[in-house]
Amino acid sequence: MGTVGAMAGAARKGRADRMSGKRARRRGILFLLVGPSGAGKTTLLRRLMRMRLGLKRLVSTTTRPPRPGEKDGRDYRFVSDEEFREGIRRGLFAEYAKVHGNLYGTKAGEIDSELAKGRDLIKDIDVQGADALRRRYADAVTIFVLPERPADMAARLRGRGSEDSASFRRRMETARQEIRRAADFDYLVINGELALAAGELRAIVEAERCRTRRRWRSTAWATFRWTS
Ligand code: ADP
Ligand code: 5GP
How do residues 144-164 score in pLDDT, each as one tens digit?
999 998 888 788 778 877 778
Whole-number average pLDDT of the chain:
88
- Using the atom order of ligand 1, give the atom closest to the CA of residue 192: 23
CB 69 within 8 A of CB 150: no
- Using the atom order of ligand 1, give the atom closest to the CA of residue 124: 2
The rounded distance, in Å, linking the Cα atoms of 146 and 141 is: 17
Bridge partner list, 122: 31, 57
For the Cβ of 145 lying below 6 angstroms from any atom of ligand 2, the answer is no
**In 3-state terms, what secondary structure has residue 1?**
coil
| CATH architecture, range 26-220 | 3-Layer(aba) Sandwich (3.40)
Banded pLDDT at 130 (limits 50, 70, 90): very high
Whether pLDDT at 20 is above 60:
no
pLDDT, tens only, 88-129: 999 999 999 998 889 999 999 999 999 999 999 999 998 889
For the Cβ of 40 lying below 6 angstroms from any atom of ligand 2, the answer is no
Q: Where are the alpha helices (DSSP H) in 36-164?
A: 41-50, 81-89, 108-116, 127-136, 150-160
Whether pLDDT at 6 is above 50:
yes
Delimit the domains of the chain by residue range. Answer: 26-220
Residue closest to 115 by CA, chosen among 188, 56, 169, 75: 56
Identify which has the larger pLDDT, 119 or 19.
Answer: 119
DSSP state of 186: S
What's the sign of the alpha-carbon dihedral 157, 158, 162, 164? positive
Give pLDDT, residue 182. 93
- Ligand lying nearest the CA atom of residue 167: 2
Cα of 25 vs centre of ligand 2, distance in Å, is: 31
Q: What is the pTM of this model?
A: 0.84
The rounded distance, in Å, linking the Cα atoms of 41 and 44 is: 5
